[in-house]
Amino acid sequence: MKKISVYRPTTIEEAQQMLSMHGTDAAVYAGGTDLLIRLKNRLKQAPAYLVDIKKINNLRYIKEDAQGGVQIGALTKLAEIAESDLLAKKYPMLVQAVKMISSPELRNASTLGGDLLQEVWCQYLRGGYACWRNGGYICYGAIGDNSYYHSAMGGRLCYAVYPGDAAPALITLDAKVKLATPSGAKELTIEQLVPGDMMVDGRIQSHVVRFNEILTEVVIPPPKAGFRASFEKLRPRGVWDFAMASASLGLQLRDRTIEDARVVFGGIAGRPWREKSVEDFLKGKTLSTDLAAQAPTNALSNAAPLKYNATKIDMAKGLLMSGLEKLATS
């Protein structure tokens, strides 16, 4: 792989100093499961300086807070999330979603922070083509072979889909994140964290974290009584692969009446796609299999498929129906 120099700070401040020194030549290094692919493929955009934050204390934990919510340190491994009894009890859908990410060995190395902030998997970027994310000024996916890794909901500069599964699940749970910045701690919703296709520090990223900022924590508010959630992911194989489409659903129920809803699609757009039209449709309705059949009708009506990826929309709708059906019949 490309040559790298690795820093091992023991405090956030040290880490920020190192990141500042090198600007966009440096990057935070945690599990490295995304980063190492880019280094092995010798992408121009891959950093020469790695700031290994794993020696910093207190970034790896899963703990219940005073209100009954949960705080997850950004360096918590996906495997730890998948095996957490606390999370299984409070947010079973999150655990279910995380278990569908990559493979067991990768989940042992990958961190929650890394998963949220991962680079896209567009075959042109990963293949080293000089696109918006790799030193160029073009998106090959928009005009290329775009059945899997590209957005069916439009784009501006970069059309690659946001590939992660944790973010859609966490949006459904109204989670927030904390960033350590030079001007102090900042709090964002997940949607604010990964708005997709953003120009930050002179380059296109899916997230808003700047070169000298570090994601430190994910906070999930306490689960409410009557909240039920589902997560469905459609992919070519039963492990490893990214979502062709995914659907995270959260329903706040009083008996069978839906008081509030969260509907977030993954794998179909440059960001986790929260479909408010379906959320509005569901609010006030009675959860039933009939409702499940009706829900997709007006979903994703402003889809903007590319040449090869129109079925992402149909799959997403099918998953929506499937998720609602599951919640209606369980």
Partner 1 sequence: MMRYSRRNFLKAAGAGITLTAIEGESLFAAVAPPPPTPITKERATFIINGKPLVAEYEARTTLWEVIAVKLGLTGTTRSCNRASCGACSVLIDGTPFYSCHTLAMEAAGKKIFTIEGLGDEKNLHPLQKVGYLYMAADCGFCTAGWSVTAKALLDKNLNPSADEVKSALAGHICRCAAYSAIVRTVVDTAAVLRGEAEII
Partner 2 sequence: MSQTQRPRTPKRKIEAGLHSAIIVNQPMVRNFSTGGGHSPGDTLVEGDEKIVTKKWQGYPPENLNVVGKPQPPLAEVAIPRYTGKAEYATRISFPNMLFAKLLTSPHPRARVRKLDATKAAQMPGVAYILSAQNAPKTYPFPEELFFQGSIVAIVAAETEDLAEDAVEAIDVDYEVLPFASSLSQIMSGNAPDLSQGRGQRRGNTAPSVVQYGDVEKAFQDADIIKEFTYYYAGGVVAPLQPCGSVAKWDGDKVTVWGHGQGIYPPRAIIARGLGIDPKNVRFINKWNGGTFGGVRQASEKFYPWVAYIAKMTGRPVKLTLTKDQELAHMQVKPENIQKFKVGAKKDGRIVVCQREYFVNNGERSGGGGGNGGRSELYLHVVPNWKEIGHDYRTNSMTIGASRSNMQQEFKFGWEQMMDEMAEAVGMDPVQFRLLNVQKPGTKVSLASGGPTMAPVPEIENGFLTYDSFASVEVMEEGMKAIGWDKRNSVPGGNPGRVKRGFGVAMSQHHAGRVGYHEGEVGFERVVKRGGADVYESEIELNADGNIILRFAQPDSGTNHGTGIAMAIAEILGFTNLRHIRLLWGDSDLAPPAPGWNSGLTTQLQGGALCTAADKLRKDLLNRASELLKVDIGRLQIRDAVISSKDDTKKAVTFAALARSNEGRVIRQHASCCHPGAIGRAMNRGIGACFVEVEVDTWTGNWRFIRAAYCHDTGNVINPLLAEADMNGSLVQSSQVATEAIPWDREFPGTRHFSVGYLSYRLPTIMDVPEQTQVFVNSLEPRWYFGTKGFAETAIGAPPGAIANAIYNACGVRIREHPITKEKIMAGLKAKAGRA
Instruction: Using CB under 8 A, list all residues that contact partner 1.
Output: 1-9, 14, 17-18, 21, 32-33, 36-37, 39-40, 49-50, 79, 102-106, 108-109, 238-240
Smallest distance from partner 1 to CB 92, Å: 17
Considering only residues 269, 299, 319, 328, which one is a binding residue for partner 2 as defined by CB under 8 A?
A: 319
Using rule CB under 8 A, residue 184 touches partner 2: no
Answer yes or no whether residue 113 interacts with partner 2 by CB under 8 A.
no
Name which position in 126, 133, 178, 207 contacts partner 2 (CB under 8 A). 126
DSSP assignment string, 29-88: ESS-TTHHHHHHTT-TTS-SEEEEGGGSSSSS-EEE-TTS-EEEETT-BHHHHHT-HHHH
Are 1 and 39 spatial neighbours (Cβ–Cβ below 8 Å)? yes
- Site map 140..169 versus partner 2, x via CB under 8 A: x--xxx-x----------------------
Give dist(CA 296, CA 294) in Å, integer.
6
CB atoms within 10 A of CB 183: 6
Q: Which of 6, 67, 183, 237 binds partner 2 (CB under 8 A)?
A: 237
Give the whole-angstrom CA distance, residue 203 versus residue 210.
Answer: 10
| Position among 82, 177, 244, 253 found at the interface with partner 2 (CB under 8 A) | 244
Residue 128 interacting partner from partner 2, partner 1, none (CB closer than 5 to 8 Å by kind): partner 2
> Backbone phi, then psi, for 251, in 5-degree steps?
-120, 130
Q: Is 263 in the site for partner 2 (CB under 8 A)?
A: no
Q: Is 139 in the site for partner 2 (CB under 8 A)?
A: no
The correct pick among 17, 24, 71, 322 for binding partner 2 (CB under 8 A) is 322
**Per-residue DSSP letters for 220-244?**
EPPPPTTEEEEEEEE-SSSSSPPPS
Residue 143 touches which member of partner 1, partner 2, none, C-beta under 5-8 Å by kind: partner 2
Residues in region 11-40 near partner 2 by CB under 8 A: 37
Query: How many Å separate Cα 130 from the centre of its chain?
Result: 24
How many angstroms separate the CA atoms of 315 and 245, rounded?
6
* Single-letter amino acid, residue 186: K
Piece in contact with partner 2 (CB under 8 A), picked from 44-52, 81-89, 117-125, 152-160: 117-125
Phi, psi of 41 (to 5 degrees): -80, 5
Give bridge partners of residue 266 from the DSSP assignment: 246
Helix (H) / strand (E) containing 293: helix 289-294
Using CB under 8 A as the criterion, which residues of the chain lie in contact with partner 2 when the complex forms?
A: 1, 3, 37, 41-42, 121, 123-124, 126-128, 140, 143-145, 147, 234, 236-241, 244, 307-308, 310-311, 314-315, 318-319, 321-322
